[in-house]
Amino acid sequence: MSQVTQPAKTHRVYLLLRDRITEGLFGQNGKLPGEQALAEEHSVSRVTVRRAIDGLVADGLVEKRAGSGTYVRRPHQRVQSAIADVSNVFTHLKEMGRSTAVRMLSFDYVIPENHVREALKMETDERVQRSVRVRLVDDEPFSYLTAQVPERIGRLYSREDLARDPLLELIERSGLKASAASQEISAVLASPDVAEALDVKVGSALVSLTRTVLDNQGRGMEYLEARYRPDRYGFRMDLVRSGGNGARYWSPADRKKENQNARHAHTNRKRWNND
């Protein structure tokens, strides 16, 4: 077997087993299948399986017991995943800020790179307030956030404020209002600094999100570059079937309209109950 492809196969088996452990599929303190069974299941050699298990041992996920087998090291406690509603960006941003903890890594004022300056529609000599934070859920890191806002906005709050409250909430509390946002979602590999902050291996796959927030006059308010652990963060969008015959398509559900309809139905039920 090629020495070039062997590490890739080892890593693939490692990831598959790690995911099964994380999802609790082996149960609490459960026993993993034997090396031969795993080798046949994943169409690899026993050496590949053994190396993958060694990686799980090094990460503290399993332990080998002489003459008995390999067992999940501790009772399974699944970390709660954070779910983002893509169709309701601003509500999600505020709710996430309230329901998660934050670790501040840096907070300073710098000249932005050209792509950030252009996205925020700033002059060449203007500075941004740049912060780097890690968000945690159940005390486990799931996102690495680099936020940049024009200095005129950044001066409205302190490092201590940002370590305690959601950025968008701080901005709007100062009287400014976010009106629109554009965002792009893709995938990237973890760089050394991000990998260390998120407690993953360098080169691990991460979800990448870039978002630009604008006020009601089209001026830039925030440029966010976020990296998420895919095992602890997901995106959701509710859809409805729209269009006429022959031109049917999926479109985002109107949450505002749904909420209004729900309130209207509740009001009608109260009226009926009072009749």
Same domain, 203 and 136: yes
Same domain, 121 and 199: yes
Angle between helix 6-22 and 46-58 (nearest 10): 50
Same domain, 39 and 167: no
Taking only the tens place, the pLDDT of each residue in 150-172 is: 999 999 999 999 998 889 889 98
Report H helices in the chain. Answer: 6-22, 35-42, 46-58, 89-99, 114-120, 151-154, 159-164, 167-173, 192-198, 255-274
Residue 184 tokens read as 């792009």
Same domain, 124 and 166: yes
Mean pLDDT of 248-257: 72
| The three-state (H, E, C) secondary structure of 96-120, written as one string | HHHHCEEEEEEEEEECCCHHHHHHH
| CATH (domain of 46) | 1.10.10.10
Q: In angstroms, rounded to a whole number, what is the distance separating the alpha carbons of residues 253 and 40?
A: 45
Own/partner contacts of 236-240, CB < 8 Å, gap of 24 or more, are 236/83, 236/84, 236/85, 236/86, 237/85, 237/86, 237/87, 238/85, 238/87
Q: In angstroms, rounded to a whole number, what is the distance separating the alpha carbons of residues 48 and 61?
A: 18
Query: Domains in the chain: how many in total?
Result: 3
Taking only the tens place, the pLDDT of each residue in 70-117 is: 999 864 444 455 555 555 544 555 455 456 789 999 999 999 999 999
Q: Tell me whether strands 82-85 and 233-236 are parallel, antiparallel or unpaired.
A: parallel
Same domain, 57 and 86: no
Same domain, 110 and 193: yes
- Domain-terminating residue out of 43, 72, 101: 72
Same domain, 199 and 67: no
pTM above 0.85, yes or no: no
Answer whether residue 1 is part of any domain.
no
Number of C-beta neighbours around residue 218 at 10 A: 9
| CATH (domain of 129) | 3.40.1410.10
Which residue segment(s) compose the domain that 113 sits in? 82-236
Answer whether residue 157 is part of any domain.
yes
